[in-house]
A and B are shown apart, each in its own frame.
Chain A
Amino acid sequence: MQHSDITIDNLLNNDSFIAWVISDREQHSEYWNGIKKGLPKDIAETLERAAKIIEKVKAQYADSDENHITSDFIQQQYIKLLEAYNTKTTSPKTKVVKIQTVLKYAAVLVLMLSISGIYYYSGRIDGAFENHLISTTYNSKDILIETPDHKFFVIDDSTKNNWLADNGIFVSVNNEQIKFVASDGAKEGLGELFKVYTPNNKLYHVILTDGTSIELNGNSILTFGLSKEPNKRNVALIGEAFFDVARNEHAPFTVQSSDLSVTVLGTEFNISNYPENGYTSTTLIEGSVEVSSPANKSIVIKPGNQARLYKGGEDIEIQNVDVQEVVAWTSGRMIFNDEKFVDLIPQLNRWYGVNFILSDEELSNVRFTGTLKKENDLTHFLQMLKYTEGINYEISDKEVKLFINQ
């Protein structure tokens, strides 16, 4: 720039000069500092005046109330954006099982189980998973999440949060479910394993990045990764869960539960392998699944089929079952259809969190038909036994002794 070109008008029109001034003289600084050095005083003053004009004008346009536009605020706005984008593009999954029809069975009694274990955390939006949950010592009454680095975090009634993890996975968590949504560009290498632990009598819903929905029954442990790699749709289960697997022809979804491994492309099924059952069962609701045992025996089952593999066994047994009965737990019910009392004990123990003891031999063969509801508590169940079946009870600590009324 020639000295004669340095006029207020020219400078106020010069984009490089403007950039230099409004960047606090950082951009293009070599050029403009160079020019400034060699200027006679009067021209230097012109240049400085032009700069002052721009600075004053700029200051007038700055907003004084912009302070709330923090990076936290922007992050929250971004999450809202992703939520809006995801709700528009992905159709919500509907639960398949029409449980209502089973209500024809006699309902039982009522009492509320007090669910304790209240921890509190207040959520801030930032990247780390850990920052959203409070570390806890193990408490069998809480839903727990174990992170890949083996920290435990509690999910309680006040848990409610959304955030975006550093790796691009969007996580929303509350006391009913944890949902992971991979934004399109989520980074790979998320194969590390998470675990969800449910206590007795609490259900929890896990939604994985591929859209697969897993309803976890009480007393269960689900292990899963968040990898986006399609060939890595693997989870492991101890306990019981209802799976609604998002369909992907190219990426089989595998559940390992005890010795039984279940492979599907996309379907709905229930798996139960509580250790006290002594077997793993897979019940198919819709579609088809392949189940296989360690002895490499695999078999494809149909809707309504239940495949059972007994502990240590090789052969998979297939039987027809009442699907509604099997998945009743997902809607907070237990359905019995002419079943022997003794066979119900493990389920009742889990349900009420106690140990039932049948003091009289003949009680074992008493048969039950009916529905137990989650909201009905133990005392109500026992009262029902007393007045309808003539079975008496004695409660001590976590033990419930049942005997025939004399």
Chain B
Amino acid sequence: MVKLTPKELSSPENTEQENLWKLFLEGDMNAFRSLYSAHYKMLYNFGKKYLPPTEVEDCIHDTFLNILHYRNNIGEVKKVKTYLFKSFRNQLLKTKKSKQVEFHLTKEINIDNGDPVENEAILKEVKKLIEQLSPREKEIVYLKYFQNFNNHEISDLLNIKYQTVRNILAGAIKKLRTLGKDYIHLLFLLIKD
């Protein structure tokens, strides 16, 4: 399998964020504001998997406040998104030191708004599958397939070994790949394409 190098993987959007970060470290508050706005929703979505909304808002606030206060000690970062997620996650864990913080799916059932052909059975199946994953698996699957982090970034973010990320992901993929196998609807969709 041809591996794509990280350089090829970096999207223009990423390097843009890293440039903004550099400007921010030089004292450009407009750059900081852009970084804040660009990442707010992602962090919020992520935080909601651990804590209730108001606490998530507080954690985002504290994360950025710390960045402002300690910016002279931070320096450049390889990827802003990873750095922010890591700091934010640490903040989440700090907030709930006493309680156990666990990654979970938010309760609402998501209705896919796009495709009328797909029926609820598939959605339910996916939900069931994800719910069967361990919290760690859910977390890594989320970071991988929702936030698009690579394994190195996930290992950095969760502060676990690279190989551990790979192993957990492999286990999760094994469960996920059964998805859609038995569903005629889904196959029908594929053929239609």
Q: Which A residues contact B (CB, under 8 angstroms)?
A: 1-2, 5, 8-10, 12-16, 18-19, 22-23, 27, 45, 48-49, 52-54, 56-66, 69, 71, 74-75, 77-78, 80-81, 84-85, 88, 164, 168, 183-187
Contact = CB atoms under 8 A, between A and B. Distances in A.
Contact of A64 (B110, B180, B189): B110
Given A61-B45, A184-B29, 18 more contacts: A2-B2, A9-B173, A9-B177, A13-B173, A14-B4, A18-B144, A19-B9, A27-B11, A60-B127, A61-B145, A74-B41, A77-B61, A78-B33, A80-B61, A81-B65, A85-B65, A184-B28, A185-B30
Nearest to A167: B30
A183 B27 CA distance: 10
B179 interface: yes
Contacts of B145: 18, 22, 54, 57-58, 61
B146 interface: yes
A161 to B, nearest CB: 19
A63 B130 contact: no
B9 A53 contact: no
A115 to B, nearest CB: 38
B1 A185 contact: no
Contacts of A85: 65, 68-69
Nearest to B130: A60
Interface string B48-61: 11000100010011
Nearest to B126: A56
A78 B27 contact: no
* Of A10, A27, A57, A88, most B-chain CB atoms within 10 Å: A57
Given A14-B4, A49-B180, A183-B29, A81 B61 contact: yes
Contacts of A52: 179-180, 186, 189-190
Nearest to A68: B53
A357 to B, nearest CB: 57
B51 to A, nearest CB: 13
A11 B189 CA distance: 19
* Of B60, B64, B111, most A-chain CB atoms within 10 Å: B64
A78 B9 contact: no
A22 B40 contact: no
Determine the main DSSP class of A at the interface with B: helix
A56 B122 contact: yes
Contacts of B27: 184-185
Interface string B67-106: 0110000000000000000000000000000000000011
A360 to B, nearest CB: 64
Nearest to A71: B37
Contact of B179 (A53, A75, A80): A53
Given A13-B173, A81-B64, A185-B29, A48 B190 contact: yes
A168 B169 CA distance: 44
B160 interface: no
Given A19-B148, A57-B176, A74-B36, A62 B45 contact: yes
Given A22-B148, A56-B122, A84-B61, A16 B106 contact: no
Given A60-B105, A84-B65, A5 B127 contact: no
Contacts of A9: 173, 177
Nearest to A164: B33
Contacts of A69: 40-41, 44
What are the 3 tightest A-B residue pairs by CB atom distance, in nearest-first order? Answer: A185-B29, A183-B29, A5-B1
A185 B29 CA distance: 4
B126 A60 contact: yes
Contacts of A88: 69
A186 B122 CA distance: 51
A53 B186 CA distance: 10
29 contacts: A1-B1, A5-B2, A12-B173, A12-B176, A13-B169, A14-B1, A16-B4, A45-B190, A48-B190, A48-B193, A56-B123, A57-B176, A60-B110, A62-B45, A63-B106, A65-B53, A66-B44, A66-B45, A74-B37, A77-B57, A77-B61, A78-B33, A80-B61, A81-B36, A84-B61, A88-B69, A168-B29, A183-B33, A186-B29
B31 interface: yes
A49 B186 contact: yes
